Amino acid sequence: MNYFNRPAKEQIKFIAVFCFCFSALCCIAFGVSAFKGNVEFLLLVIAAIWYQVGASLIKKKGWAWHACLALVGITCISSLNSVFNTIVLPAFNEDVTGVGYGRWIALMLLLISGILIKSLIGKPVRDEFKTNT
């Protein structure tokens, strides 16, 4: 069964799981980071925002759709930038080298965030949030 043919409720749960995983990733980065000062605080704020958006998606709050679309859109654009800098640019310029596993993580995030944007903009999910605002 195609992911986009699933009911809106299942698509919303998948998007919320992505938000929760991204929040956990920020918390893990906070735990293992060697950042100083405000960067650690910023990681916790980002984790809290992703978690709150995921929880509000499950509760079908109207603002959560807009916030999730913005957050996933930012993730998609930043992943596209990373893919360009770590995969496309090194292929055409021998002076630029890639960054190991980071290029594949960026490619995976680009694909997943693209799927999530298509899912969020899709009629079933959008209608689910229009009727529950």
| Structural domain total, the chain | 1
With beta carbons less than 8 A apart as the criterion, state whether 133 and 62 touch. Answer: yes
Q: Which residues touch 114 (CB under 8 Å, ≥6 apart)?
A: 76
* 119 within domain boundaries: yes
Residues 24 and 57: their CA atoms lie apart, in Å, by: 17
* 133 within domain boundaries: no
* 68 within domain boundaries: yes
Q: Which domain holds residue 23?
A: 3-128
Residues 54 and 23: their CA atoms lie apart, in Å, by: 9
pLDDT by residue, tens only, the chain of 133 residues: 577 778 888 888 888 998 898 888 877 777 776 667 777 788 888 889 999 999 999 998 989 999 999 999 999 998 898 888 887 777 777 776 656 777 888 889 899 999 999 999 988 888 888 876 5
pLDDT computed for residue 92 by the predictor: 78
What does DSSP assign to residue 6? S
